[in-house]
A and B are shown apart, each in its own frame.
Chain A
Amino acid sequence: MADDLELEKRVNSLSLELRCLVCQNETLADSRAGLAVDLRNQIREQMKAGKSDQEIVAYLTARYGDFVLYRPPVRPSTYLLWFGPFVLLLAGLVVLFRYVSQRRGLIASAPLSSQERARAEQLLNSKSEKEIA
């Protein structure tokens, strides 16, 4: 009995790493599709026959391709998938940084002339009077 439980646990944990090809958002462990049931049975049988997780995964990917893995493998063909978001984030941060420092440069390089300062004060004062009133 304990052996069966161990086996089921093993089947389940491997199934959680695999994708149901029919309900493609679900893991093989969660799916109730006919194919999922069949594949889980296959996995159970192969485990009973002493195959390792790796061998079983190889058996499935030989027939269904990498898509049967729930986590996409990190391969040159999936570098864009895995690293793309970080690259975009980095690019966005670079653009933001440059924009902000450019703006700071603009502001710093053009201090107010005394005329402009007087006008500014006038505007500010008149505005606060309006607010009080």
Chain B
Amino acid sequence: MIRYAIPLAIFLGLVAFLAIGLGRDPREIPSPLINRPAPQFQLPQLHQPSKSFAAADMRGKVWLLNVWASWCFSCREEHPLLLKFARSGAIPLYGLNTKDKRADATAWLEELGDPYVLSASDLDGRVSIDFGVYGAPETFLIDRDGVIRFKYVGPLTQELLDSKIIPLARELNK
């Protein structure tokens, strides 16, 4: 019996490794910015370029920063959810419009609806790089001291909002 136990044990070990490995997303890159201060930035507002929006403006509030663009296909997927979420007013939602022509971006919001309190124009993508953005849409939850507490790459889901984002925001708002 012992003879069979060893290969069986090795096999089971392999199965365990494979099961864990296959369950993960190989494309996901863990962000080094979690629990670090969000990059400081000051950008023109999308709809009112003469006004600016800075990360520092949001001190004292817990807020969501959603990175989006009109050329981003997946952003369309999460858009209805964002509209619904914004209406609920649970957490203030701000947009970071990355590498987009102003006209394209405003037309996109016109067509699909604007869930954001406001969007900032990151025309050359510098600020997005500072946030470690590599695939829009990406969403950051930032706390009252300007520290990034949560980051998600990809279209948001209701499940994610309910299970992670909203509870965390509630914690941070205490």
Residues of A at the B interface (CB closer than 8 Å) are 21-22, 24, 34-35, 38-39, 42, 61-65, 67
A35 touches B31 (CB 8 A): no
Q: Which residues of A contact B31 (CB under 8 A)?
A: 65
Q: Chain B residues with Cβ under 8 A from A35's Cβ?
A: 125, 129, 134
**Secondary structure call for the A interface:** helix
- 12 A–B contacts, CB within 8 A, in A order: A21-B135, A22-B135, A24-B27, A38-B99, A38-B125, A38-B129, A61-B32, A63-B32, A63-B131, A63-B132, A65-B30, A65-B31
Chain B residues, CB < 8 A from A42: 126, 129
Q: Are A64 and B125 in contact (CB under 8 A)?
A: no
Across the interface, do B29 and A65 meet the contact criterion of CB distance under 8 Å?
yes
Inter-chain contact B32/A65, CB cutoff 8 Å: yes
B134: chain A residues at CB < 8 Å are: 21-22, 35, 64
Contact: B32 with A62, CB < 8 Å? yes
Closest chain A residue, CB of each to CB of B32: A65
Q: Within the assembled complex, what's the spacing in Å between the Cα atoms of A22 and B31?
A: 15
Judge whether A64 and B132 touch: CB under 8 Å: yes
Q: Given the complex, which residues of A lie within 8 Å of B32, measured CB to CB?
A: 61-65
Q: 10 more A-B contacts (CB under 8 A) besides A34-B125, A63-B129?
A: A24-B27, A35-B134, A38-B124, A38-B129, A42-B126, A42-B129, A65-B30, A65-B32, A65-B132, A67-B30
> 1/0 per position for B147-160, CB-CB distance to A under 8 A?
00000000000000
Q: Does B104 count as interface, using CB distance less than 8 angstroms?
A: no
Q: Tell me the complex Cα distance, A65–B135, Å.
A: 15
CB pair B99 A64 closer than 8 Å: no
Q: Is B81 an interface residue (CB 8 A)?
A: no
Tell me which residues across on chain A come within 8 A of B126, comparing CB atoms.
42
Cβ-closest chain A residue relative to B26 = A24
Q: Does B33 sit within 8 A of A, measured CB to CB?
A: yes
Contacts of B30 in A (CB 8 A): 65, 67
Whole-angstrom distance between the alpha carbons of A22 and B132 in the complex?
12
Q: Does B77 contact A (CB under 8 A)?
A: no
